[in-house]
């Protein structure tokens, strides 16, 4: 049996070297698409620069990404219908990132899939694992929130501005703080 490449390990959710030369062209392609998106005049860019839209795994009708934006690979990002990402969002998509329909991300929201190794020697060698992030439909994520690797946020949830989401958020819940924890909200 042929050993898996680092890209295959990354795709399989296994430990891999993020410094592997095979990953560099994928990172470079993402940087070029991000640059196009961030530097195009808004009237030309429309909802998303063509190179960025082509890079993503899936983009449904009505999705819109403000500039500036950043992603690690882009190929692992799936956007549902009418998803809105405000200015300054960053998605480090070393694993699949699914954002459901009608979800809105405030400015400066960061989504991280990469988790580096805790052993210093292995971390120095670039060993990391990508854990998927799933955000349901009709979710509102406030500005500056950080979503950590492996988190799932249920439909209709709210993540308060500046929250650091370290654990799954149930459907319809509102979470705030660092680490994010549920609060009771009156309509």
How far is residue 151's CA from residue 170's CA, in Å, rounded to a whole number? 11
Per the annotation, the verdict on 37 as an active-site residue is no
Q: Which two tokens stand for residue 172?
A: 């319809």
160 burial type by CB count under 10 A (0-12 exposed, 13-18 middle, 19+ buried): buried
Given 35, 37, 70, 116, which residue is catalytic?
116
User: Please, are residues 5 and 23 in contact by the beta-carbon 8 Å criterion?
Assistant: no
Query: Residues with Cβ < 8 Å from 46, sequence gap 6 or more?
Result: none
Helix (H, G, I), strand (E, B) or coil at 71: strand
With CA atoms as reference, report the closest residue to 155 among 82, 97, 100, 84.
Answer: 100
Catalytic residues: 116
């Amino acid at each position: 049996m042929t050993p898996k490449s680092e890209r295959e390990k990354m795709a399989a959710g296994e430990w891999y070297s993020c410094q592997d030369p095979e990953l560099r062209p994928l990172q470079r392609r993402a940087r070029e698409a991000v640059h196009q998106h961030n530097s195009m005049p808004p009237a030309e860019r429309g909802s998303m620069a063509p190179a960025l839209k082509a890079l993503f795994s899936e983009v449904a009708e009505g999705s819109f990404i403000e500039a500036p934006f950043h992603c690690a690979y882009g190929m692992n990002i799936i956007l549902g219908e009418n998803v809105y990402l405000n200015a300054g969002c960053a998605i480090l998509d070393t694993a699949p990132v699914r954002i459901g329909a009608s979800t809105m991300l405030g400015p400066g929201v960061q989504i991280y899939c990469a988790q580096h190794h805790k052993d210093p020697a292995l971390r120095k060698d670039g060993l990391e694992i990508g854990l998927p992030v799933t955000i349901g439909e009709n979710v509102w994520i406030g500005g500056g929130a950080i979503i950590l690797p492996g988190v799932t946020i249920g439909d209709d949830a709210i993540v308060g501005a500046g929250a650091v989401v370290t654990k799954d958020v149930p459907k319809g819940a509102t979470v705030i703080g660092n680490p994010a924890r549920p609060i009771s909200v009156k309509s």
